[in-house]
Amino acid sequence: MSVHDLSIDEIMALTNPIDNTSPPDERLRGTLAFLFAQPSLRTMSSFAAAGTRIGLAPIQVTATGDALKDNTDFHDEIVQLSLTSTCVVVRASKALERDALSSCKAPVVNAGDGRNEHPTQTMNDIAVMRQIGLEGATVALIGNLRNQRTTHSLAIALQRLGIKLRLVSPTELRLPDQYVKGDVEIVHTEKRPEVDELVRDADFVYMPPLGYWGAADIDYSPAYGFDLARAQKVLKPTARLMHPFPRFAELDKSLDGSSFDAYRLQTMVGPVIRERILRMLLGW
């Protein structure tokens, strides 16, 4: 439900570098139910692919019509779904309540709960960082840190792993205090040259979408957006840009396939990392 629920050992096991994986070749063993109150493309398709890797057929609640509009109790519905399915993956419009899910019969995965957390995305992100080299690295989280659940979970996990972390954002988009625990460098700025200086020594620059989840009225992409020219000018040649997608103006397509592009890998590792998560939860 939260990155806090995972021990350091579990985080390390889930984010180990990925060897060449063989394609799935499984018999049907049950269903992986998706209850999504918000849209999803990467997370859902990754979990679905992960499901087929362990024999679970993906099902979506609900395709036509929307059970969630019936004024039914969302947590009640999760419990119900856990009675009929092998595993339940939930995306909620607000933070999930642990106590309301205590009578679930099947494992429930938090695939993003409102503006709170998105722990499985963080396992993806850290797996990519470790595959490239996270030890001794400096990670800069920049831009919209306020409303982005991916960033919240990632910040928690990186702090717990003792990674050198720098938070760079406009004042109004700063990371909420509850996600800052340790010794973290925090800078608020709206100026492009200052952002340039603050990413110059970073090994990973992680940029959540600016135009999403209660975006600011002000367009901060002039200060926080990157294209290939800017990356070549200010980043280390070995630096990598990461982005949870979907992207808006902050991440230009000129970067796609360049040496800075680690976001393609972020999406690609999804099925394998989610397979590990499902196996851990199911004990398979």
Residues that bind a copy of itself (CB under 8 A): 23-31, 33-42, 44-46, 48-49, 51-52, 55-73, 76-77, 80-81, 83-86, 103, 105, 211-212, 245-248, 256-257, 264, 267-268, 270-271
User: Are the beta carbons of 112 and 118 closer than 8 angstroms?
Assistant: yes
Q: Which is nearer to a copy of itself, 32 or 145 (CB)?
A: 32
Least distance in Å: CB of 49 to a copy of itself? 5
Least distance in Å: CB of 100 to a copy of itself? 9
Report the residue count for the chain: 284
Q: Which is nearer to a copy of itself, 165 or 266 (CB)?
A: 266
Phi-psi region of 109 (alpha: psi -120 to 50; beta: other; left: phi over 0): beta
| Contacts of residue 199, Cβ cutoff 8 Å, sequence gap at least 6 | 140, 142, 168, 205, 234, 235, 239
C-alpha distances in Å from residue 36, one per residue of 39, 94, 106, 164: 7, 12, 17, 34
As a whole number of angstroms, the distance between CA 2 and CA 223 comes to 31
Least distance in Å: CB of 167 to a copy of itself? 26
Q: Which is nearer to a copy of itself, 147 or 158 (CB)?
A: 147
Least distance in Å: CB of 25 to a copy of itself? 5
Place of tokens 């030890």: 135
185-188: strand order across its sheet: 185-188, 164-169, 138-142, 204-206, 240-242
Output the DSSP codes for 176-203: PGGG--SS-EEEE---HHHHHHHHTT-S
3-state SS, residue 158: helix
DSSP secondary-structure letter at 259? T
Q: Which is nearer to a copy of itself, 88 or 165 (CB)?
A: 88
Least distance in Å: CB of 198 to a copy of itself? 27
Least distance in Å: CB of 83 to a copy of itself? 4
Least distance in Å: CB of 35 to a copy of itself? 8
Q: Which is nearer to a copy of itself, 27 or 233 (CB)?
A: 27
Least distance in Å: CB of 86 to a copy of itself? 8
Query: Which structure tokens are listed for 36?
Result: 């999504």
As a whole number of angstroms, the distance between CA 111 and CA 214 comes to 19
User: Are the beta carbons of 129 and 161 closer than 8 angstroms?
Assistant: no
Q: Which is nearer to a copy of itself, 65 or 182 (CB)?
A: 65
Q: Which is nearer to a copy of itself, 120 or 158 (CB)?
A: 120
Q: Which is nearer to a copy of itself, 40 or 138 (CB)?
A: 40
